[in-house]
Amino acid sequence: MKKITVKLKTNPYNIILSAKEADFISNLKKLQDLSSVFIITDSVISKIHLSKFKNLLIQNKFIVKTAVIPAGETGKSLKSLSFLYDSALKNGIDRKSCVIALGGGVVGDCAGFFASTYMRGIRLVQVPTTLLAACDSSIGGKTAINTDGGKNIAGTFYQPYFVWLNTDFLKTLDMRQIRNGLAEVVKYAFTFDNKFIDYLSKILEIGIITEQNFEYIIYKCCSYKADIVQKDEKETRGLRALLNLGHTLAHAIETHTKYNKFLHGEAVAIGLLFAAQLSVYKKLCKQEVYDEILSILRHCGLDPQSPPFSIYVFSKEIAGQNKKSNIAALVNLMKKDKKSVNSKINFTLLKGFGKAQSGYLIDDKTLYNQLKVFFNT
Ligand code: GLY
């Protein structure tokens, strides 16, 4: 077992990296006066992991209730939230219960929001089952749902009691889900660590990611995330905003395509490449940084400009007949993003390999022109 502590002043907690169920159970048993656990998962994960997971808890004498929300980004909705409040009440979930978010980023965000608001807040444990959730979204306490107008528009900061990160869950992931998570991994490497870029580049060139590679990658990302979250929990000091590299455009794309075309990481891959282009344009870094990010994304199967990946389809669509109106719509959505300041769009950009900086306010015209260049290629 490995343990990373998120050293927050008020609610410090551990990320438990372990494939042993006993490690999870012993941590859950530390929660005082627990009346019941409320497992929230999605319609895909429920078929793969729910019954075994539920049995584990029942065998250990927990009272267990479950709720299943729709899989995919569209499941992160007001409708799911409303369903969860009703389901929790019907199942007798009370203030001494604990929510267990069993799933990927969608489940973690929605279950987290639910836990932070149900009866003014009940306890939360995150059990990520995807690479993306393991590396990023299950840590740090961001919770949210999407609205028609914007991604993550309603949400809270609400830290879990602990995160159980069992890489055995990742063994059932398909390639699309692996790529989805790799986009966030690429983000961490380019934001923080030149050596990590080299490491990724090497293993991706070989073309095989072993279990040990995954464990190393996840440990690295979690360590960076824990460090940033403990220094800037609520994203007020410009540090946590570093983790938004690639996310400004990504969120606009997800909203523009009604949350049903891309997985979050796929949109992030487009956003990362665009952030690199913008960084080169602003003379913050050299062309070789853009070239390297493109090469790594290509090796991950996440090249926005090449088939067979679905981003290719989107790039073609944007570059097609409705190019101008699509690009204008993306710019408008970015203006409404919660990171925008007085309608100026806030970007995290690259100053070199493994070096990001937040807080670049970009005007609409520059953005529009740069997007035209980006989607024309
Ligand atoms: N996913 C970025 C953050 O948690 O801040």
pLDDT digits (tens, 9 = 90+) for 165-186: 999 999 999 999 999 999 999 9
pLDDT at 321 over 70: no
Q: Domain span at residue 93?
A: 2-172
Domain boundary among 120, 138, 172: 172
pLDDT over 80 (residue 319):
no
Is it true that the peptide bond before 308 is cis, omega within 30 degrees of 0?
yes
Say if residue 214 is in the same domain as residue 158.
Answer: no
- Tell me whether residue 319 is in a domain: yes
Q: For the sheet with 64-69, list strands across it.
A: 2-6, 13-17, 162-165, 123-128, 98-103, 37-42, 64-69
For residues 131 and 210, state if they share a domain.
no
pTM: 0.94
Q: Is residue 86 located within the same domain as residue 158?
A: yes
For residue 77, the tally of other CB atoms under 10 A from its CB is 19
What values do phi and psi take at 317, rounded to 5? -60, -45
**Domain match, 106 and 44 both:** yes
DSSP code of 238?
S
Q: Which residues line ligand 1 (CB under 6 A)?
A: 136-137, 140, 142, 240, 243
Q: Are 304 and 163 in the same domain?
A: no
What pLDDT band is residue 306 in, cutting at 50, 70 and 90? confident
Average pLDDT over residues 19-31: 98
Confidence of residue 308 (pLDDT cuts 50, 70, 90): low
Shared domain for 338 and 252, answered yes or no, is yes
Q: Is 298 a catalytic residue?
A: no
Residue 292 among the catalytic residues: no
| Inside any domain, residue 188 | no
Whether 204 and 308 map to the same domain: the answer is: yes
Q: What pairing do the DSSP bridges indicate for beta strands 64-69 and 123-128?
A: unpaired
Counting the structural domains of the chain, the total is 2
**What digits encode the pLDDT tens for the residues 90-134?**
999 999 999 999 999 999 999 999 999 999 999 999 999 999 999
In this predicted structure, the answer to whether residue 295 has a pLDDT above a threshold of 90 is yes
Q: Do 161 and 214 share a domain, yes or no? A: no
Verify that 95 and 235 share a domain, yes or no: no
Ligand 1 centroid, distance to 145 Cα (angstroms): 14
- Span 271-299, average pLDDT: 96
Same domain, 37 and 155: yes
Atom number, ligand 1, closest to the C-alpha of residue 243: 2
Q: Is residue 240 part of a domain?
A: yes
pLDDT at 219: 97
SS (H, E, C) 35-82: CCEEEEEECCHHHHHHHHHHHHHHHCCCCEEEEEECCCHHHCCHHHHH
What is the mean predicted confidence (pLDDT) over 141-153? Answer: 94
> Considering the chain, what is the average pLDDT of its residues?
94
Q: Examine the domain organization and report whether 252 and 163 are in the same domain.
A: no
Clarify whether residues 36 and 121 are in a common domain: yes
Domain-embedded: residue 215: yes
* pLDDT band at 81; cut points 50, 70, 90: very high
pLDDT in tens, 131-144: 999 999 999 999 99
Instruction: Please report whether residue 181 resides in a domain.
Output: no
Asked whether residue 177 is domain-assigned, the answer is: no
Q: Is the pLDDT of residue 19 over 70?
A: yes
- Max Cα–Cα distance, the chain, nearest Å: 60
Q: What percent of the chain is predicted at pLDDT more than 70?
A: 96
CA of 286: how far to CAs of 214, 307, 353, in Å? 30, 27, 9
Does 191 reside within a domain?
no
Q: Active site residue: 225, 256, 299, 339, which one?
A: 225
Which pLDDT score is estimated for 104? 97
The residue whose CA has the least distance to atom 2 of ligand 1 is 243
Out of 240, 256, 299, 339, which one is annotated catalytic? Answer: 240
Annotated catalytic residue within 184, 233, 266, 292: 184
> Residue 306 belongs to a domain with what CATH number?
1.20.1090.10
Among candidate residues 111, 138, 172, the one where a domain is terminated: 172
Q: CATH no. for residue 159?
A: 3.40.50.1970
pLDDT band at residue 338 under the 50/70/90 scheme: confident
110 inside domain: yes
